[in-house]
Amino acid sequence: MKRIQTILDAIARGEEFCIYECPEGYQYLLEVIEKCTEYNQLNPLTQGEEQIKLLKGLFKKTGDFLMVTPPFHCTVGGTIEVGENFECSYNVTMQDLGGIKIGDNVMIGPDVSINTSGHALEWERRIEGWSYANPITIGDNVFIGAGSVLCAGVKKGLHIGNNVTIGAGSVVTKDIPDNVLAAGNPCRVIRKLGGE
């Protein structure tokens, strides 16, 4: 991760970054793509231990139990932290340049996209390669329904509280409080849920 440290430092300061100004960082991102490709080609029945070892080496932190159904894609890997009892269905993408922290007992449905980064809004800066990234945090005991999209904002990250259910197909761009069912595009609180 040292090769992308310049980018990560800019993100930590809340600044935009330009991937074209960091060729060694771009090379690192290509190597992460290669690791994800390797993971996705392993057979879960006969090569499950190899898959877990690869993920535990790719992620910054994991709990003891970790189940990620291929295919899975991420940008950096080393900025992803997952808690105990993490279950992730197939075809999940984590654009994790801004950092993704996921609590305990979290389940992510198929075709979910978690996006900490985006491109500059002005087309002139965008074609020059300028981007931004902000963190996404997901609390404990959260279920994210199939096909949902989570996006950090240009100026701030995104926080999903504890004991939350996100309905399938939701587009989440604003923080979600604890103990709620939230759904829709844009995602909004539907009702409170019991539990602490």
Tell me the one-letter amino acid at 107: M
- Inter-residue contact 81 to 102 (CB < 8 Å): yes
Cα separations in angstroms, 161 against 11, 28, 139, 188: 23, 32, 5, 13
Scan for tokens 């909004």, then name that residue: 188
- Give catalytic residues, as residue numbers: 119
3-state secondary structure of 12: helix
CA of 183: how far to CAs of 29, 87, 155, 171, 175, in Å? 32, 20, 23, 8, 12
Residue 121: count of CB within 10 angstroms of its CB: 10
From CA 111, how far away is CA 108, in angstroms rounded?
9
